[in-house]
Structures are given as C-alpha cells and as structure tokens.
Amino acid sequence: MSHYSGESMDLIVLANDHGGELQFRGRIFSECSYYDEETNSITRQRLYVTDKGEQVYYIATGSGQAKERRAYLLRIDGENCVINNGLLEITLRTDLLLASMRTLCGFNEGCSADLLKSLEDTLKAANV
C-alpha cells in the first residue's frame, strides 16, 4: 500500500452522528451531491484518501433543520478490510465485503461483468 506523504495533505476533522469524530491528514479524492425531491433533502458524499493510504467515506444529509452525518475510515489489511466509525471497528474479508455490496446494490449473476469490475476498481482506487 502506498503512502501519500509527498502530496498536499490537510488536517481534516469530520463530525459523526453515529460514531466518534474522525481526525486524519488527507485530501478529497472524489465527491458528489444529489437532491431527493421526495424527501426534500440534499446528500453530499465525499471520499478522502489519508496520508497513510486509507480511505474515509463521509455522507452528510440535510433537510431543513434536520442533519445527519456519518463517517467511516476504511483500510485494507492483507485480505481484510477494516472499517472504523470512530467508535467501533469491524474487520471483514474484502471478497465478502464486495459480494455483500453487490447483493445490497442489486447486482446479480446476470449483471455485466464489466460493470462489476469497474465498480470494484473504483472502490480500490485510493489504495493503489
């Protein structure tokens, strides 16, 4: 796993309503936002890469005064993926995590192999 010490990294602190505050040195890797007309809420998703080559996934949803923030630090440790929300940590085999993700997203045997490969490559991109 490569480290990103040569790249510009900032101290980032993310509030987390369902865990502990996450603090790390890193930078934004990608981000997107979308608006849900049914709930009148906006969701912002950010993927960060840390100076240690880990990934941090941040989701913030807001509607009027209501706001919900979630943050998860993910790191690859051999064949495992370690997920930490600042309070709790869980370790899963990476292949089982990807299989679960496919199932939860509705991808099945008939789904395009190219689409699945592209999705897996995207999830692994920040750990290169």
Cα–Cα–Cα angle for 15, 18, 22, rounded to 5 degrees? 35
pLDDT digits (tens, 9 = 90+) for 91-120: 988 888 777 777 776 666 555 566 556 656
Q: Is the dihedral of CA 96, 31, 28, 65 positive or negative?
A: negative
Placement of tokens 């906006």 in the chain: 42
Helix, strand, or coil here: 98? helix
For the CA atoms of 55, 56, 57, 59, what is the dihedral angle to 10 degrees? -170
Token pair 């101290």 is found at 11
**Percent share of the chain, pLDDT over 70:** 74
pLDDT in tens, 18-45: 899 999 999 999 999 999 999 899 999 9
